[in-house]
Structure 1
Amino acid sequence: MILKFFDRLEEWLIVFLMGAATLLIFAAVAHRYASGVPVLQEYLLQLDMSWAQELCIYMFVWMAKFGAAYGVRTGIHVGVDVLINRFDDRLRGGFVVFGLLAGALFTGIVGTMGARFVWQIAHTDQVSPDLEAPMWLVYLAIPCGSYLMCFRFLQVAWNFMRTGKLPHHDIAHVEGVDEGAAHDLHPLSHEARQ
């Protein structure tokens, strides 16, 4: 129950950050070009949008950190397993568990180092250039995203040790679409080729 809540929260956070950053970039670009129109110049030049680029960068950093954790959970994170998949199941399983635990260790170390950095910078008066937001808030993405990614590596490792299965992303699957109906509509389906 609580894991499903965190799964949905993670997904909604990524979607919100991506959508909000896209809208903000669009608004900033539209503002910049519309400011050149003489009729609108008087009004638009009073509106300062210089902070938009900085906020978008921070939003994309947060989105990337949470997106990486999402990638581990769903099996879309990049992995090179061509050689490992040729091993027998027992040896392959050992390498998979080692790789997942190594990923958890690495992201746990990055999260801890990031948390120490955030703690140190929180005791300064450093702020971002345009937004003047506390920099510790900006850098908080590192420990939050890294610890979440560490948790996801451990979660996948635990599920793999119990079931022997890794999460696998099916690129042909669209959530909310019935697989039978999607198969019938696909131009390369068996029926369509005949």
Structure 2
Amino acid sequence: MLKLIYKSLAKLEDFLLAVLMISSASMIVIQIIARSLFDYSFVWAEEFVRYAIIWMVFIGSGVAVRTQRHISIDVIKNILPLKLACAVNILLLLMSMAAAGLLLIYGKDLVVTMQKFGQLSPALEAPMYWFYLSIPISGGLMFIHLAVHLLAQTKALLTGQIKPQPSEVNHAI
């Protein structure tokens, strides 16, 4: 059941990223055509693209954690014995989970504060807290993905299969 939920979450992330990319690229092309051919500009288009890119970055950070595509320095882990490297990796995952948890908690507080202010975006006239929601959502996504990686690393350490492949991460649940 948890595997199905996790796979569904991954598909939702990928779908949202695709929708945001396509809509942003389309809006940029439409804006260029409107300006060039019709001497007309959509007032809200650039703001829409800006906020779509912000959402892409924050959702994409969760996807990068899920697919293990974030930048990492592996020099020390590569020279350590396998068990010790796995233990170091578990420690790093726990520290990353703490950072993601802080992003989730303080991002939520920021969203609540922005909601109280009732500020609207200048061109779209949408509530600003909608755009700030990307912060705690990103923290939550990263926390979930890091927890799955932590389970996989812990399982690998306990069973002696020290270096799980990225495809095995989904089997930790």
Q: 2:5 aligns with which of 2, 10, 15?
A: 2
* Equivalent residue, structure 2, for 1:57: 50
User: How many percent of aligned residue pairs carry the same amino acid?
Assistant: 28
Q: 1:158 aligns with which of 151, 155, 163?
A: 151
Asked if 1:133 corresponds to 2:132, the answer is no
* Equivalent residue, structure 1, for 2:112: 119
Asked if 1:17 corresponds to 2:20, the answer is yes
Q: 2:93 aligns with which of 95, 100, 108?
A: 100
Aligned residues: 158
- After the TM superposition, which segments of 4 or more aligned residues of structure 1 sit over 6 Å from their partners? none
Deviation at 1:137, TM superposition (A): 0.7
**Whole-angstrom distance in 2 between the partners of 1:151 and 1:23:** 32
**Whole-angstrom distance in 2 between the partners of 1:2 and 1:154:** 14
Question: Residue type matched to 2:166 in 1?
Answer: P
Asked if 1:29 corresponds to 2:22, the answer is no
Deviation at 1:126, TM superposition (A): 0.5
**Whole-angstrom distance in 1 between the partners of 2:100 and 2:37:** 44
User: Secondary structure of 1:24's match?
Assistant: helix
Structure 1 gap segments, 5+ residues each: 37-44, 169-194
Query: Over residues 27-49 of structure 1, what are the superposed CA-to-partner deviations in whole Å (9 max), with x where a residue is unaligned?
Result: 1111111134xxxxxxxx4xx51
User: Secondary structure of 1:131's match?
Assistant: coil
Which structure's CA Rg is the greater one?
1
Question: Residue type matched to 1:25 in 2?
Answer: I
**Whole-angstrom distance in 2 between the partners of 1:73 and 1:125:** 34
Deviation at 1:17, TM superposition (A): 0.7
Structure 2 gap segments, 5+ residues each: 157-161, 168-173
More helix by share: 2
**Whole-angstrom distance in 2 between the partners of 1:167 and 1:103:** 18
TM-score by length of 1: 0.77
**Whole-angstrom distance in 2 between the partners of 1:71 and 1:3:** 15
